[in-house]
Structures are given as structure tokens and as C-alpha cells.
């Protein structure tokens, strides 16, 4: 059984009486331990897909199983719980709370899952060590670089030991060199057996992942069109990705 199973998932918005199908009958599986990128131009519905799979949103039709549990009809409270326990998010703009220091930011998910203070601290420190920021714990987000901020965000996504990590354009706001180190961090995490879903419009990043799901006009493309996604420019990356265990 796959970690995530989407069956005929649709998301329909109504804008001024006009029906907009952000997702149209999408079915796909993501196995545990996979490193997947979801690619597509802006407006293709990839963000909507991530939001629905990431339990931030509910589909209009269709079923979603996350870790064997159907979640399409879950209440917002249950969704919050699932996000808290099973899902980690990394965003383009880091989305750290500026008033909290690094450690407090990483501890935040644990606060919402009711972990006692001492253990919260230990686990947050462990997560920060994993991203190599254990000596920056007292800094505020504004006092560290963008790459470090994104690593704090990754530590925060990891701290609850989630089943799956969603990264929405995680390098979109970083220079290419810093972006590369962040991607390297994701590769490391993938090698440790974590399930990671990268959402990106950047073919260079998509090329890095062993599996790519292309979304076009709210549908999963039957197969990834290398030319269209711009992947033909990175044969080496494609080959390297293929060797990564799925």
C-alpha cells in the first residue's frame, strides 16, 4: 500500500459563477521513501495538489488515503492533527515566526502536539543538528542568512518525525549556490529514507529527483515530457536520479 493514494481527486472553485477545475480527476500514488518532484508551470494546479495532499485543503471529489487513512472528509481539527503529526512543510519564503528564535521556531510543532518542554527542547536540538545549525539556536530568523533560515524551516518540518515532507519551491528565494546546499540536504534526507515531495517549476531541481509528476491544466500528464519540462538539458541529472533507490 502506497503512503499516499489519490483516486479521482478534483478540486473545483467557483469564481464569479465560473467553474474552475484546479485539479481534474487526478489519481496517483506516492510510496514511502520516494523522492518526488511535482512540476508544472504556475497555475497548473501543482500548488493545489500539494495543499490537498498536505492536508491544508480538502478535495471537492475523490478519495485520498494518507498512511492508510482516508482523509477527504476529515474536519479541520483532524486535518490540523494530521499536518502536525504526519506532514512537514518547507516553504519558499521560509515562513519562520520572526519574533521567536531558531530553537523556538523549531519547537513550535511540538508545542501543538503537546510534547513536554524538556523533550521538546531535546528533539528540536536534534533536528537542528541534522541541518547543522545547532550553534545558531538563540538567533532570530532575521539575524541569519536565507539558506540558514531555510534549514531552520527544514528542521521544523523534521522535528515531529513526519511521514512525508512537502517542499514548495524551497530554493525559490535563495541564490543558486545556497539553493544547491538546500537541495543537497533534501537528498541526504531522502537517502535516510524520508519521503519528500518537491513542488517546483524549475526543471533543474526536478531533474534531480528520481521521479517526477508533471501537472498540466489540473491533470497529471500521462508521461513527463522531457522537452516541455526542460529536462532534456540535464541528461546527467536524469541518469543520476535513476540510480537513486526508490
Partner 1 sequence: MNLLNAILVGFKEIWAHKFRSLLTMLGIILGVSSLVGMSALVKGMENGMREALVAVGGVERVRIEQADIPAEQAHLADQAPGITMNDVYALKHNATLTRLITPEMRLRNVTITRGGRHATPFIFMGTWPSALEMNEHEIQYGRMFNEIDDESARSVCVIGTEVRDALFGSPEELGYDYNPVGQQVNIQNQVFTIVGMFKYYESEQDRRRRLAEQARLQVAAMTSTNSAGGASRDRGRGGRGRASWVFRVKNNTVYIPLNTMWLRFRTAAGTNNTPDPRLTGLAIKVADVDVLEPAIEQAHKALLRVHNGVEDFSFETQENWAENIASAIRNARMSGGIIAAIALLVGGIGIMNIMLASITERIREIGIRKAIGATGTAIFIQILVESVVIAIIGGLAGLVTSFGLVHVLTSISPTDNAPEITFLSCAVAFSFSVGVGILAGLIPAFKAARLDPIQALRYE
Q: How far is the CB of 245 from partner 1 (least distance, A)?
A: 29
Whats the size of the chain, residue-wise? 246
Distance (Å, whole) CA 215 – CA 195: 20
Closer to partner 1 at the Cβ: 138 or 191?
138
Per-residue DSSP letter, 32: T
Minimum distance between the CB of residue 222 and partner 1, rounded to whole angstroms? 28
170 vs 241 by CB, closer to partner 1: 170
Q: Which is nearer to partner 1, 6 or 159 (CB)?
A: 159
CA pair distance 186, 167, nearest whole angstrom: 9
Nearest distance in Å: CB 207, partner 1: 27
Residue among 110 and 208 whose Cβ is closer to partner 1: 110
Cβ neighbors of 203 (< 8 A, separation 6 or more) are 39, 229, 230, 231, 233, 234
Shortest distance, position 112 Cβ to partner 1, whole Å: 4
The residue among 160, 192, 8, 138 whose CA lies nearest residue 89 is 160
Q: What are phi and psi of 219, to 5 degrees?
A: -125, 155
Binding site for partner 1 (CB under 8 A): 51, 56-57, 76-77, 80-81, 83-85, 89, 91, 95-97, 99, 108-109, 111-114, 156, 160
Amino acid at each position: 500500500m502506497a503512503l499516499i493514494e489519490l483516486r479521482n481527486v478534483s478540486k473545483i472553485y467557483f469564481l464569479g459563477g465560473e467553474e474552475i477545475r484546479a485539479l481534474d480527476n487526478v489519481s496517483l500514488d506516492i510510496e514511502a521513501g520516494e523522492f518526488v518532484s511535482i512540476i508544472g508551470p504556475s497555475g497548473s494546479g501543482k500548488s493545489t495538489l500539494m495543499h490537498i495532499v498536505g492536508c491544508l485543503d480538502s478535495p471537492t471529489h475523490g478519495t485520498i488515503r494518507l498512511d492508510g487513512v482516508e482523509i477527504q472528509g476529515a474536519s479541520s481539527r483532524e486535518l490540523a492533527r494530521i499536518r502536525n503529526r504526519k506532514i512537514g512543510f518547507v516553504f519558499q519564503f521560509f515562513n519562520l515566526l520572526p519574533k521567536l528564535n531558531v530553537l523556538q521556531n523549531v519547537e513550535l510543532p511540538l508545542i501543538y502536539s503537546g510534547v513536554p518542554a524538556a523533550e521538546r527542547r531535546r528533539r528540536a536540538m536534534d533536528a537542528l543538528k541534522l541541518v547543522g545549525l545547532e550553534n545558531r539556536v538563540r538567533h532570530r530568523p532575521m539575524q541569519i542568512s536565507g539558506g540558514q533560515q531555510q534549514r531552520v524551516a527544514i528542521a521544523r518540518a523534521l522535528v515531529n518525525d513526519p511521514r512525508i515532507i512537502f517542499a514548495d519551491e524551497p530554493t525559490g528565494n535563495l541564490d543558486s549556490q545556497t539553493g544547491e546546499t538546500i537541495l543537497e540536504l533534501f537528498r541526504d534526507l531522502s537517502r535516510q529514507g524520508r519521503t519528500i515531495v518537491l513542488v517546483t517549476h524549475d526543471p533543474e531541481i526536478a531533474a534531480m529527483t528520481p521521479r517526477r509528476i508533471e501537472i498540466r491544466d489540473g491533470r497529471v500528464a500521462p508521461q513527463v515530457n522531457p522537452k516541455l519540462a526542460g529536462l532534456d538539458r540535464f541528461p546527467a541529472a536524469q541518469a543520476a536520479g535513476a540510480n537513486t533507490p526508490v
